[in-house]
A and B are shown apart, each in its own frame.
Chain A
Amino acid sequence: MADHEINAGFMPLFDSAVLIAAREIGFAAREGIELKLSRETSWANIRDRIAIGHFDVAHMLGPMPLACNLGLTPLASDTIVPFSLGLGGNCVTVSNTVWEGMAAHGARPDLDPLRNGAALRELIRARAAIEATPLRFAVTHPHSGHNYELRYWLAGCGIDPSREVEIVIVPPPFMADALAAGRIDGYCVGEPWNSVSVVAGKGHIATVKAAIWRASPEKVLGVRKSWARDHPDALSALLRALHHAARWCQDPSNHHELTALMVQPGFLGQPAEIQMRALTGLLDVGGGVLRQVDDFFLPFDKAANFPWKSHALWFYTQMVRWGEIRHTPTNAAIARDCYRPDLYRAALKPLGVALPGANAKVEGALTSATPVGSSGAGLVLGPDGFFDGRIFDPDQIDTYIAAQAGGLSPLP
């Protein structure tokens, strides 16, 4: 008989792996948790079912709990983030036609965000000159890492994401079909939904999240605040289970077992070979050209599970940048309070886990892997740079927001 019963929702994406492994490999049971998983079809459903109490916790897009707490979505309930489910994992994929156009302007199959972004800009300018319809890119959700990193990349390359392209919402499993059918020209989504287009011969990967912002936040564990308050022991037990599950997912000797688990139709339902690309970072970027991407997806390493307040605040600056929310001290505080490293520390300290010394860091400051001062065993962070060399200091949020306020922020 389990001590705690916890209901969790997830979307069929590879980065739900930590949650699924926690149940299926037995880490949750070992902590006395009966973890009930429900596969969902939309983030809106996850939000609604957290709000009415069907779910206590869920696999969520990193900015989604912020959007809930800032009142940007219907039916939102107060949601907190005590654990991150991984770093990285996304790519920007374009159609073969767009890739040919980019290649004609100097793009190379090396995922370089600067060169390929400049090529995309030149293609867009050339199309505008002949009054062609703007390119249409898809992301999975307005309040997603995908939306903000795509916009950050485009803007950083001198492309106005609000005027020079159209950005629409398409559910991840439909991306490849929409691209093949010509309904969209490109998209930013997590794996395996980029490789699915590459395998079908319908798309090229132009760049990756890990190149736009290395070791950057993606999915998180969203928890209904009132549930966390009423069930502190269950939450701590769950965070310990997720910690062990994340370490298990990172270990290459478990990757075959992990992909065999995720291949089940009730979880991800995509072939193991395609899933393996996210785990190894060895991507076919299109037409059989292979690229090794360092830190492509990190379910555990580099403090991947720590809910950095600087991650929440960076998402917040992008919400301000694209006009979703007004920057006020109150709103900034809501964003900062949404991510809860204190709960992470409280649950994992007794395990002797390596914990960062601070709750926020200057993003983009580390140019190489750096051992950091921490309690417990060795912890390595970084590199964590943005492709344009900019730095986000969470203590200088007003300056950062002011600098990006012009909409376009050309490269320095």
Chain B
Amino acid sequence: MATPSLSVLVIDENRIRAAIIEAGLREAGHSHVTLVHDVTGIAMRIAEIVPDVIVIDLENPNRDMLENMFQLSRAVKRPIAMFVDRSDKASIEAAVEAGVSAYVVDGLKQERVKPILDMAISRFNAFSRMARELEEARSELEGRKVIDRAKGILMKLRGLSEEEAYTLLRKTAMNQNRKLADVAQGLVTAADLLGPEGR
């Protein structure tokens, strides 16, 4: 287990993701975790917290400001450097791809901090996966709704059964090499353009 005395600051505007990171850190035995969602007045917070490790999401437009602050010993009591050094290329790539970066105070042993970064990377990835799945589920639901509407239009206009309407849509999609939902959307749009009499 990592030495629990390390103080970790997580800067992330996304509160849910920050909470997920925090939970991971606490599970790993880090009790000194601070979350910051808004960087206003961050210099003062950093001076209070005196963090050993700072984790930042890469979407944060304030990274340039934060990096500059880390380099000025006036704002921060101890100089802070980018954690991942040049020799650890795999870690750098994994971190950037996951959308996270970490900074640590100079002189802190890499093996003490690496587990923190690894945990942040895996939690960031898990969060992205979750967000992606949620988005997929949402678009699938919308696709299903539009397919139902398209089936309804075909049933009404061409006197088809529900199954026949679905088969016709699917066949058209296959013939045109398009997604079923796209064909359905086209039909719904056309029906809307033609107005109520088109239904």
A140 to B62, CA, bound (A): 10
A52/B58 in contact, CB under 8 A: no
A41/B59 in contact, CB under 8 A: yes
A183 partner residues in chain B, CB cutoff 8 A = 40
Q: Which residue of B lies closest to A74 (CB)?
A: B82
Picked from A52, A140, A169, A171, the residue with its CB within 8 Å of the CB of B93 is A52
Q: Is B67 in contact with chain A by the CB < 8 A criterion? A: yes
Picked from B63, B81, B89, B93, the residue with its CB within 8 Å of the CB of A44 is B63
Q: A52-B93, A171-B62, A173-B61 are in contact. Are A44 and B67 (CB under 8 A)?
A: yes
Q: A42-B60, A183-B40 are in contact. Are A169 and B82 (CB under 8 A)?
A: no
Interface residues of A in 326-378 (CB under 8 A from B): none
| Interface size classification for chain A | 20 to 34
B40 partner residues in chain A, CB cutoff 8 A = 183
Q: Is A45 in contact with chain B by the CB < 8 A criterion? A: yes
A140/B96 in contact, CB under 8 A: no
Q: Which residue of A lies closest to B58 (CB)?
A: A45
Interface 1/0s, chain B 35-57, versus A by CB < 8 A? 00000100000000000000000
Picked from A45, A49, A73, A170, the residue with its CB within 8 Å of the CB of B65 is A170
Picked from A42, A49, A54, A75, the residue with its CB within 8 Å of the CB of B64 is A42
Q: Is B11 in contact with chain A by the CB < 8 A criterion? A: no
A147 to B27, CA, bound (A): 43
B58 partner residues in chain A, CB cutoff 8 A = 41-42, 45, 48
A42/B96 in contact, CB under 8 A: no
Q: B residues touching A (Cβ–Cβ < 8 Å)?
A: 40, 58-65, 67-69, 71, 81-82, 84, 86, 89, 92-93, 96, 101
Q: A residues touching B (Cβ–Cβ < 8 Å)?
A: 41-45, 48-49, 51-52, 54, 73-75, 140-142, 168-171, 173-174, 183
Cross-chain pairs A/B with CB under 8 angstroms, 16 sampled? A42-B62, A42-B64, A43-B64, A44-B63, A45-B63, A48-B92, A74-B67, A75-B92, A141-B68, A142-B71, A169-B65, A169-B68, A169-B69, A171-B62, A171-B65, A174-B61
